Structure 1
Amino acid sequence: MNRWGLLAGAILAEVAGTMALRASVDHAGWAPVVVVGYAAAYTLLGLSLRSGLTIGVAYGIWGACGVALTAVLGTVLFGEVLSGVAILGLGLIIVGVVLIETGARHTERAATQEVRS
């Protein structure tokens, strides 16, 4: 699996664990899913780092996407309300992830050019 696939898996596992954590407030039977979700998330995040992602990029994208997906799913699954300011914040998270990825690609290209020189 490639590094981006591992990171995507880490994000989905973390969000699943967090949704299970919220569900466990009402039904304690969700607790094992919380543990498995977070264990899988950290394992996949570690594997994505081993595959070559830098910690700043991987953790930034993992955290930002996790927050955004958790907020949206909290609204859909649990009826939580997102204010206009929260929706603006989600937009800023998306912009931040794009900037992090763009900056990482620029840095990777510069490093590759230095090695070739």
Structure 2
Amino acid sequence: MSVWALLAGAILTEVLGTIAMRLAVDRKPWYLVTALGYGAAFTFLALALRAGMPLGMAYGIWSASGVALTALLSRVLFGERLTRTMVLGITLIMAGVLLIQLGATA
């Protein structure tokens, strides 16, 4: 499996765990999905590191992407606010991720 696929798995399972945590507030069984999501996220992240992805790049992309996806999904799924300032922040996160990747390949 490619290092990028492993990192994508880490991002998606971390976001799943975070969304499940929000659902668990009212429905306790979702705590199991939260725990499994975070466990899978750390496993995928460790595998990406083992496959050779640098820690700074992996962690930066993983955490930034998770924040952006969680903010967008919480708007769609839970109707939470997404202000212009938050959209600007997400845009800056995307720019930062791009700069991290470009810097790693320079």
Listed as ranges, the gaps of 5+ residues in structure 1 are 107-117
Calculate the aligned-residue CA RMSD, in Å: 0.4
Q: Any runs of at least 4 consecutive aligned residues in structure 1 with deviations exceeding 2 A, and if so which?
A: none
* Deviation of 1:91 (Å): 0.3
Distance 1:41 1:30 in 2: 16
Partner amino acid, structure 1, of 2:66: G
* Deviation of 1:99 (Å): 0.2
Identical positions, percent: 56
**SS of corresponding position for 2:29:** helix
Partner of 1:73: 73
- Size of the aligned set, in residue pairs, is 106
C-alpha distance after superposition, 1:34-64 (max 9, x if no partner): 0000000000000000000000000000000
Partner amino acid, structure 1, of 2:69: L
Distance 1:50 1:70 in 2: 26
Partner of 2:50: 50
Larger radius of gyration: 1
Partner of 1:112: none
* Deviation of 1:26 (Å): 1.4
Listed as ranges, the gaps of 5+ residues in structure 2 are none
Partner of 2:93: 93
Q: TM-score when scaled to structure 2?
A: 0.99
Q: TM-score when scaled to structure 1?
A: 0.90
**SS of corresponding position for 1:60:** helix
